[in-house]
Amino acid sequence: MSLTLAAEHDLTAANTLGLPCVAAHFAAPASLVELQAALSEARVHGWPLTLLGGGSNLILPERLPGLVLQPAMGDWWLEEGEGETVRVHAEAGVVWHELVMALAGLGLWGTENLALIPGRCGAAPIQNIGAYGVELCEVLEALQVVDLADGRAAWMTPEACAFAYRDSVFKGRLAGRVVITRLALRLTRSATLRLGYGDLAARVGETPTPLAVAEAVSAIRRDKLPDPARLGNAGSFFKNPLVKDEQAKRLLAEHPEMPHFRQPDGRVKLAAGWLIDRCGLKGLREGHFGVHDRQALVLVHFGGGSAGELLAFADRVATTVRERFGVTLEREPRLPGER
């Protein structure tokens, strides 16, 4: 199959915020060979490159020059490991939630708490997706990348990925230098329950299956988060801030009801949504953007706005929280090329 390049390609429907954007050139390679051909084409023409996954964690400008690449390799398969272990291979274009539900339906444990996280597998390691006490790095065995400069493929270990809370080497040293093309996940047939967050345990009953957990997580997320197909959003717009223990104690003395989660390194994770809500911002709308009326952690797009307007609105929300609580909120979705 030969690679197809499209000119002046509309990306409005390719980002969950629904921001209007046009790519000067666009390709959706369906194989490693097609990806390498697209990279070669970009080198020949001197085009800058922008990588696009499911568009769920990206703030797009009105126009992207050069070549936008959206890997479309969409296969996944199982490989039996030792004992109860099963290795799962998933290519970059596989929709993450669809993979999670399929694996949970097969009775495999490990990714069920990560259900309904939007996006594709190729983007999942970039911010080390996590939910309900589980992070991708806990089940990732290895991943394959292709060097954007020369098209060479190589495998990386989790240690080489420098994973942290909502962070990885792909946001730092390797940002804009590689594209992730395949994940190798390590799952198990033995029950490994992680039900300590929220009311998850109450929702799954006494003898939960991976599918029951995944469905419960999905139901909770649907209750709290708007559907991007109906109301543009990028999910959680801010990271839950990590503060020093001393600062957390001062805040708790004043706000004893404040949700907080102590971390192994001694810091305390706070709930960004709670902080925004306590500032009276839930449901706030200014122009084309607003704070969701059910989940203050989510900024929503009502249509017709621009990336600049969204960033200005987000800055006003973060400034209000900083002035009220002395806590700095960090944005999750990124601009193209941003580290």
Residue 206 CB burial class (10 angstroms; 0-12, 13-18, ≥19): exposed
Alpha carbon 48 to chain centroid distance?
Answer: 23
In a domain, 333, yes or no: no
Through-space distance between the first and last CA atoms of the chain, rounded to whole angstroms: 34
Evaluate whether 182 touches 92 at the Cβ level (below 8 Å).
yes
Domain boundary residue among 175, 197, 223? 223
Q: How many domains does the chain have?
A: 3
Residue 303 is classified by DSSP as S
Q: What is the CATH number of the domain that holds 238?
A: 3.90.78.10
The rounded Cα 294 to chain-centroid distance in angstroms is: 20
How many angstroms separate the CA atoms of 88 and 100, rounded? 11
Task: Give strand ranges (E) for the chain.
Answer: 6-10, 22-27, 49-51, 63-69, 76-80, 85-91, 130-131, 134-135, 140-147, 153-156, 178-188, 232-236, 242-243, 260-262, 268-270, 285-286, 289-291, 298-301
Domain's final residue, options 41, 69, 97: 69
Domain-embedded: residue 339: no
CA 105 to chain centre: 23
Specify whether 166 is catalytic.
yes
Of 176-180, 201-205, 232-236, the range with the lowest mean pLDDT is 201-205
Annotated catalytic residue within 141, 203, 332, 334: 332
On whether both 170 and 198 belong to a single domain, the answer is yes
* Across 202-211, 251-260, 274-283, least confident range: 202-211
What average pLDDT score do residues 279-306 get? 96
Query: Domain containing 10 — which CATH number?
Result: 3.30.43.10
Residue 135 known to be catalytic: no
Task: Pick the catalytic residue from 168, 218, 236, 306.
Answer: 236
The strand order across the sheet containing 232-236 reads: 232-236, 298-301, 289-291, 285-286
Confirm whether 168 is a catalytic residue.
no
The catalytic position among 166, 182, 221, 331 is 166
260-289 per-position pLDDT tens digit: 999 999 999 999 999 999 999 999 999 999
**Does residue 1 carry a pLDDT above 60?**
no
